Structure 1
Amino acid sequence: MSNAAFFDALWADHVAIAPQSAAIHALFAADNPVVINDHVAFRTFDTGPLSLARLETRLFDLGYRRHAPYSFPDKHLSAWGYVPADPDDPLVFLSELHVGALSSAAQALVTPIIDAIDPALASTPDVFLAGRVWPAISYGDYRMLAQESEYAGWLAALGLHANHFTVAVHRLHTPTTLEAVVQQVRTAGFAVNNAGGAIKGTPAELLEQAATLADRQPVSFAGGETHVVPTCYYEFARRYPDIDGRLYQGFVAASANRIFESTDRGHRT
């Protein structure tokens, strides 16, 4: 699979559970000859066949290399950023949940999920759009997990998807500021993640970010139940050049920590 085909497949999978992303992309595509994807992000567990160490080998296969690590102790997460061999490909942000840091009750819910994963699943890049590759958990268990870790609840219910794509604002013809992008998104009727402010990061940090709140779509749970839960979202990033004139390729941990909250259940009921 070529990198272009891989990201096309990721996008198709993403918008199937987050149709707002397709609508917002069209909003900017109407005024720009091309809308560049700055980065995509994935979530996983830190143990088992789908740990970050297993999944990143598939990124290496696509020509990516590690760039910088990130830590989010308050959410029991860590992550790496990855840069592509081809500068026209998006950056990748891969995070993992520290299962051992969860309560014993939460671990008891997560362990059967990990045990049910096929060890051979991570043999191709298709794993990143595999979705939920374990039996559906009950809605009650989902709520219990999410009460302790929104990330854990989301991952248990949805599995592997690109949880967000990102408009590269610095490569738009119009609008050219993140403030204008956020206003356009709001005017179109989409809710924005205001955790820590609508715009996270500063030009001095070489990266400004904003994001919508996650779409909400029906998801199947055990026992034949279906409930509407947060799925995925769309992000907007404006990167700035460093003192050597090179566009910043990393992420800002404090900003990313609040961007994670785009999938929290408490934003809307």
Structure 2
Amino acid sequence: MTPEEFFSSLWTDYVAMAPQAQQIRQAFESQGETVSNDHVAFRTLGLEPIGIERLEPHVLALGYRQLEPYEFPSKKLRAYGYVSDAPDAPRIFLSELKVEELSAEAGEILRRCASQVDATKVESPEVLWSGRLWDPVTWDEYQLLASESEYAAWVATLGLRPNHFTINVNQLTQTTEIEEVLQVVEGLGYAVNDSGGRVKGSPAQLLEQGSTMADRMQVDFAGGEQHEVPTCYYEFAKRYPDSTGKLFPGFVATSADKIFESTDNK
């Protein structure tokens, strides 16, 4: 699978869950902008057979290399960033939940989900847009998970798929600041994640980020119930040059911590 095929498949799955992204992208393109992707991110559980170590080979096979690890103690997450030397290649961000840090009851729900995964499906890169690979959880289980970890509830309900794509603001020619982008987004009727401020990060940190609040849709739960839950969101990133003159390639954990809240059930 080529990187182009990989990202095209991801985008198709993503916009089905976040139709706002298609509309926002088209709005910028209608102004004559060329919209490119800064990075795409995934969520998973730190459990066999779907932990980062099982998903990472699909990223490495595309010519990416592991950049550096990140920790999010308050959200019980670990993550890695990945970069490619290919020109304008989007970055990739894989994160996983430290299930052992949740309550026994929450951990039991998530382990049950992971135990139902057909390990052979994890051997194909298509697993990264496969969605839920286990039976639906109940609405009560979703609420229990959400009370401990919104991330846990998200993965249990939506499975493995791109959580967000990111517009590379450095490539825009008319709307060149994150705040300006956010104002365009709000003008289209979409809410902005203001946790930790509308614009996360700073030029001094070499990265500024902003994002929408996630789209919402009806999702099937056990017992035939349907409930509306947050799905995926669109992010915006502006990078600044480091001391060598190259644009900062990584991520800022304190900012990413707040970006995660774009899927909070507000």
TM-score range, shorter chain: over 0.9
Taking the aligned partners of 1:252 and 1:71, their CA distance within structure 2 comes to 10
Q: Which residue does the alignment assign to 1:69?
A: 69
How far 1:246 sits from its partner (Å)?
0.4
| One-letter code aligned to 2:160 | L
Taking the aligned partners of 2:65 and 2:134, their CA distance within structure 1 comes to 29
Give aligned pairs, total.
Answer: 266
Q: Sequence identity, in percent? A: 50
Indicate if the aligned counterparts of 1:32 and 1:172 stay in contact, CA closer than 8 A.
no
| One-letter code aligned to 1:263 | T
Q: Which residue does the alignment assign to 1:255?
A: 255
Q: Which residue does the alignment assign to 1:204?
A: 204
| One-letter code aligned to 2:61 | D
Alignment of 1:16-27 (within 5 A): 16-27=16-27
Query: Structure 1, residues 18-77: CA drift from partner, whole Å, max 9, x if none?
Result: 111111111111123420100000001112111001100110111110001100011100
Taking the aligned partners of 1:219 and 1:84, their CA distance within structure 2 comes to 35
Q: Which residue does the alignment assign to 1:194?
A: 194
| One-letter code aligned to 1:28 | F
Taking the aligned partners of 1:187 and 1:34, their CA distance within structure 2 comes to 20
Taking the aligned partners of 1:158 and 1:104, their CA distance within structure 2 comes to 22
1:142 partnered with 2:142: yes
SS in 1 for 2:236: strand
Alignment of 1:72-111 (within 5 A): 72-111=72-111
Query: Structure 1, residues 191-249: CA drift from partner, whole Å, max 9, x if none?
Result: 00000000000001000000000000111111111111000000000001111110110
Taking the aligned partners of 1:29 and 1:9, their CA distance within structure 2 comes to 21
Unaligned runs of 5+ in 1: none
Q: Which residue does the alignment assign to 1:116?
A: 116
With 79-88 and 154-163 compared, the bigger mean Cα shift is at 79-88
With 55-64 and 23-32 compared, the bigger mean Cα shift is at 23-32
SS in 2 for 1:259: helix
Indicate if the aligned counterparts of 1:49 and 1:121 stay in contact, CA closer than 8 A.
no
Indicate if the aligned counterparts of 2:192 and 2:213 stay in contact, CA closer than 8 A.
yes
The TM-score, its normalising length taken from structure 2, stands at 0.98
1:51 partnered with 2:34: no
Q: Which residue does the alignment assign to 2:240?
A: 240
SS in 1 for 2:49: coil
| One-letter code aligned to 2:51 | S
With 134-143 and 248-257 compared, the bigger mean Cα shift is at 134-143
- Cα RMSD of the aligned pairs, angstroms, is 0.8
Taking the aligned partners of 1:228 and 1:87, their CA distance within structure 2 comes to 39
Taking the aligned partners of 2:72 and 2:32, their CA distance within structure 1 comes to 35
SS in 2 for 1:120: helix
Taking the aligned partners of 1:225 and 1:84, their CA distance within structure 2 comes to 43
Taking the aligned partners of 1:36 and 1:191, their CA distance within structure 2 comes to 22
The TM-score, its normalising length taken from structure 1, stands at 0.97
Taking the aligned partners of 2:21 and 2:9, their CA distance within structure 1 comes to 15
